[in-house]
Amino acid sequence: MKKTFKALKFPIVFLLLISFIACDKDFNTIDSDVLGEGNASFLTDSLELPIVVYNKKLDSLQINNLSANLLGVFNDPDFGKTTASIVTQITPNAASLTENFGVNPVIDSVVINIPYFSTITGVDSNNSNIQTYALDSLYGNNSAPVKLSIYQNNYFLRDFDPSGNVSSVQNYYSKTEVLDDATRNYALNGSQQIDFDNHLGELIYENNNFTNNSEAIELWNITSTDTTITYAAPALRICFDGEVDDDADEIEFWQQTIVAKNGSPDISSANNFKNYFRGLYFKTEAIDNDGNMILMNLASTGANITIYYSKGEEGTRIQDSYVLNFTGNRLNVFKNEFFAPLINGNKDEGDETLYLKGLEGSMAVVDLFPTEEALENFKNQFLDANGNQKALINEAYLIVFEDDDMLTNPIDQNGNSYHKYDRIFAYDIKNNSVTIDYLNDFTENQTNPLISKILHLGQREESGKYKIRITEYLNNIIQNNSTNYQIGLVLSNNVNVTSSSEILNSNDDVTAVPMASIISPRGTILHGSNSLTVEKQLKFKVFFTKSKAN
C-alpha cells in the first residue's frame, strides 16, 4: 500500500532551509529556538542506526566493452602490483573498406595513434601555437618505464557466445590470479581459459624503455608547394617510416598483410577482415618490478592505425591512406601480484576493515537493514499505525573514514596526497544500477568527474572522511514502500561512468560491478562497521523533523 503524507505540512521555503542546513559539512541541525521555543510546533533530531558492512572479493569480471582501457604497470602502495595489457580487434573504416590500392602501391609510413585522456594547462612559453597538457589518468611514476610489445593477435575474439541462444553476446572475463605462468596474460570466455601468449603472431613493435609523453604532438603536412605544422593532444604515437632502414621489417609487415591483399575478400568487409586479421596485442611488462600505468582512449575518433602509401605509374604517382580503427572486441587483461590475498568478509557481523580496490580487486557491501525486524523498526519511527508519515527525513548519510595509514601515504608524482582524488561510488546491487540519490543529484559535471554528483557521492575530505547521501533511498522506502536493497561501494575515478560489468558465474547477490571500478587501478582501506576504533566506525546517520505532537 502506498503511504500517504498527512502529518507534516511545512512551507516549501522552510523545507528548503532545512535541506540546505542539513547539507552543511558538519551536519548542523536546527533547534526549536530558530523561531523561539514557544512558537515552534516541530523539532529536529537525528538517529545513528546499526549497520552491517562487509568485504566482497572480486574475480572473473567482464573485461570487454569497457569505456576505456588501462595499459602499463602500477604498484599500489597498499595492495601491490598490477600489470595491464590490451587485446583488441581492428577494422578498416568505411572509406578504407572500398579502397583500391591501385598500381604499384608502396607504403611510405605507418602511424599508430591512441590518444590519452588529457587536460589543457596553458600554452608553450616559446610558441603560443602549442598548447601544454597534463595527463589525466596516469598512475605510478612516469619516470619508471615499462616494456611495451605489440604483437599481431591470432586468437579470434568472437561476437556471439555459441553456448547461448543465437543472440547471446560473447563476454570475456578477467583471470588475474593463480596463473599457469605469471609472464603470460589470460582471460576466460565462460567455458575455457584463453592464453593470449599462446596465440602470438608477428612482433610488430618493441620498446624496452616506454614512458608516456604529455607534450603536444607535432603534425607535418608536406605538399609540393607548402609545408604546414599543426599540433594534436598527447597520444601513444608510434611511427614507422619507409625511408628508415630500421623500420624496414615493420613496413614490410603492413605491406604484405594489408596492401598486398588488394582486391582480396579478406579485406572486403569488416567481418572478413576481423577473421583474417584478428587484432593486436599490446603487452606490457615491469622493469625492475616497477613501471607506470595510463588510461587509453581507444574509443576516440583519433585512435587508429593509418597506412600512408603511394600508387600509380612512375611520374604520375599519388599519395593515399588506409585507416584502421580500434573497433570490435577490445579486452583489458590484468595480472595481480598483491601483498596478501583479498578475502570475502563476515556477512552477519560486518568487518573491522574494508578494502576497496579497483581492477579485479575488492568492494564493500552495505546492509542498511540486514533483517526484516531492523527494517520494520526503522519504518515505525517515521510511520504511524495507519501508515501515515509522522516524521520527515531531511538528510541521511553513510559516513566513512579512511584507515589512519591512508593519511600518511606518500604523495604522488604531482605532489598531491596519494588519495586526494579518490571517489567512492555507491550502487544498487539488486538492480546493478545507480541509486535514486544519484539520479536526483543535479550536480553532474561531464567535463570534470571530480566535481560531479557531489551531493550524493561527496568528495574525499582532507581528514580522510567520505559522506554518501542516501536520503531519497530511505524516503522511497517510507513513502512508496519500495524494496530495501544492498548498496555496493567501490572506488571510482570517474563517477559519470555508470555502466556495469558482469561477474562470471556469481553465486551470491553481487552479480555485477560498476565498469568504472575496473578501470580505476587505485585502492583504499577504510574503517568498517565493526572497526575497533569506535569513533571511526562506518556510520549510518539520519536527520529528521517531526511535529511536537508526535
Question: Beta strand 304-311 with 318-325: parallel, antiparallel or unpaired?
Answer: antiparallel
Residue 409 lies in a domain: yes
Residues 431 and 509 in one domain: yes
Cβ(186)–Cβ(331) below 8 Å = no
- Please give the single-letter amino acid code of residue 317: R
- 326/452 same-domain check: no
Integer Cα distance of 421 and 416 in angstroms: 9
Separation of alpha carbons 312 and 232, rounded Å = 31
Residues 216 and 299 in one domain: yes
- Ramachandran angles phi, psi of 515, nearest 5°: -55, -35
pLDDT at residue number 549: 67
How many residues does the structure list for the chain?
Answer: 550
Q: What does the pLDDT read at residue 550?
A: 63
| 349/325 same-domain check | no
As for how many domains the chain has, the answer is 2
Q: End of a domain among 286, 310, 337?
A: 337
> Within a domain: residue 296?
yes
In a domain, 4, yes or no: no
What per-residue confidence (pLDDT) applies to 340? 82
Identify the pLDDT of residue 164: 74
Which domain range does residue 447 map to? Answer: 49-58+342-542
8 Å CB contact between 476 and 408: no
Q: Are residues 141 and 108 in the same domain?
A: yes
Rounded to an integer, what distance in angstroms lies between the CA atom of residue 231 and that of residue 325? 21
- Nearest in space to 341 (alpha carbons), one of 494, 211, 176, 196: 176
* Residue 316 within a domain: yes
d(CA 490, CA 426): 7
Residue 38 included in any domain: no
Residue 144 cell numbers, joined: 619508471
CA dihedral 393, 394, 398, 402 (to 10 degrees): -160
Residue that the C-alpha cell 605510478 belongs to: 140
Residues 355 and 273 in one domain: no
- Is residue 87 a contact partner of residue 331, using CB atoms and an 8 Å limit? yes
Same domain, 149 and 263: yes
Q: Does residue 506 belong to any structural domain of this protein?
A: yes
Does 346 lie in the same domain as 329?
A: no
Which three cell numbers, joined as nine digits, stand for 167? 543472440
Residue 313 located in a structural domain: yes
What pLDDT, on a 0 to 100 scale, did the predictor assign at position 16?
39
Q: Are 460 and 466 in contact (CB under 8 A)?
A: yes
User: Each residue's pLDDT tens digit in the chain (550 positions)?
Assistant: 333 333 333 333 334 333 443 444 443 434 434 444 444 677 899 999 999 999 999 999 999 999 999 999 999 989 999 999 999 999 999 999 988 999 999 999 999 999 999 999 999 988 888 999 999 989 988 889 999 999 999 999 999 998 877 678 999 999 998 788 889 999 999 989 999 999 999 999 999 999 999 999 999 887 777 888 899 999 999 999 999 999 999 999 999 999 999 999 999 999 999 999 999 999 999 999 999 999 999 999 999 999 999 999 988 899 999 999 999 999 999 999 998 889 999 999 999 999 999 999 999 999 999 999 999 999 999 999 888 999 999 999 999 999 988 877 766 665 667 888 899 999 999 999 999 999 999 999 998 999 999 999 999 998 999 999 999 999 999 999 999 999 999 999 999 999 999 999 999 999 999 999 999 999 999 999 999 999 999 999 999 998 776 6
Domain match, 382 and 295 both = no
Residues 250, 361 within the same domain: no
- Are the C-beta atoms of 238 and 111 separated by less than 8 Å? yes
Is residue 486 located within the same domain as residue 401? yes
Tell me what pLDDT residue 180 has: 82
- Residue after which a domain boundary falls, among 337, 354, 370: 337
Pick from 337, 362, 396: which residue ends a domain?
337
Amino acid identity for residue 223 in this structure: T
Alpha-carbon torsion angle 281, 285, 291, 295, nearest 10: 20
135 lies in the same domain as 274: yes
Instruction: With respect to residue 547, please indicate whether it lies within any of the assigned structural domains.
Output: no
Is the Cβ–Cβ distance between 344 and 55 less than 8 Å? yes
